[in-house]
Amino acid sequence: MVTTLSVRHTGGEYPVYIERGSHRSLMKFVTRHCGDRVPIIIADETVARLIPQDLSGIPRLTFPPGEASKTRLQWERVTDAMLDHGIGRDGAVIAFGGGVTGDLAGFVASTYHRGLPVLQVPTSLLAMIDASIGGKTAVDTPAGKNLVGTFHQPVAVVIDPMVLESLPAKEFRTGLSEAIKHALIADAELFAWLGTHASDILSPDPAHLEELVRRCVAVKAAVVEEDEREAGRRAVLNAGHTVAHAIEAQSEYAISHGEAVAIGLVLECRIAERMGLCETGTATRVAVLLEQFQLPVTIPPALTADALLARMKLDKKNRGGVIRCALVAGIGTMVGAGGGGWTQEVDLSLMRELLSLPR
């Protein structure tokens, strides 16, 4: 059975297909959404081995796996390779892979010949429920994550929950931090459901995986429809990410995005509690749920408060050099939901104090 959700944006709308086994018949989606355009697949070297026979006739460009490849240099290499392949303005990009691939391939598609259609085929949980939806594309710089990028909506997103059953256990678990984030910012019932069904999800049970993806996609779609270009409410999707991006960059990406988000969610909930913006005990509830999914909740000792603060000062949400965070008001609701700004200024001394807590 296929579930189709629509995501509206200023240029129209696109479908998100959630269908078990859809990776065995991807060509029908390429034909449906790319028409007679000349498609090219962009994937990392590991995931490229999983590209189904159905797409064997489409040329592919690959790059080394991992966040270290999400750079301007890799963008240059991929776009030069597309020129070598003779891809013109009648081309189309198929982004086949996880969050790094979706961001990099989307950025390539948005800039190559001033914009080509991109079909997102996410293969990780993080990409399925978050990165593939909403049109954000980016590459990293030495200063931090996602500091160079565009908004470029896909023509469609094709999600096959069966792929999750074959992911390495750690990679699957780290994607769950984004699911918990979605629940925390907008869906208290989903937060409770995650806690009740943690063992079923980790097993992994196919029916629970499909429901997890469907519910998380619905949250992400609702937020990005309301605020396509992050002028307002979309900032809530950055909950936990001010701290997380600093942890990732300072660890030179030895700590994965999902692990960093897990830590960031707990610490930013503590910030909200200390500022009197959040229900007392929220950080503890979040930490308990994250630990049910075997995710970290404290900053590694090697990452100092001063080093992390220096990274945070480069965050995209900042204004006038002031660190700002999207903060939780309680399970399922964000500060700003009743009116006012969706990000809050955080005092440097408070941030330094909480970053320096015993670990």
Kindly list the catalytic residues.
114, 136, 178, 220, 230, 234, 238, 241, 245, 257
Distances (CA, A) of 20 to 1, 212, 343: 7, 13, 37
Helical residues (DSSP H) of 68-151, grouped into ranges: 72-84, 99-111, 125-126
Work out whether the CA dihedral 198, 17, 74, 136 comes out positive or negative.
Answer: negative
Work out whether the CA dihedral 5, 129, 240, 312 comes out positive or negative.
Answer: negative
Tokens standing for residue 199: 């063992």
Choose among 106, 115, 61, 107: nearest CA to 88.
115
Choose among 231, 218, 256, 38: nearest CA to 133.
218
62-81 burial, b at 16+ Cβ within 10 Å, e below that, comes to bbebebebbbeebbeebbeb
**Residues counted in the chain:** 359
The neighbouring-strand residues paired with 39 are: 92
Contact call for residues 331 and 272 (beta carbons, < 8 A): no
Choose among 295, 46, 47: nearest CA to 173.
295
Choose among 187, 207, 172: nearest CA to 18.
207
Query: CA 167 to CA 131: how far, in whole Å?
Result: 17
Interior angle at CA 232, CA 231 and CA 234, nearest 5: 95
Helical residues (DSSP H) of the chain, grouped into ranges: 27-34, 72-84, 99-111, 125-126, 169-186, 188-196, 198-202, 206-226, 241-250, 257-274, 282-292, 305-312, 348-355
Residue type, position 75, single letter: W
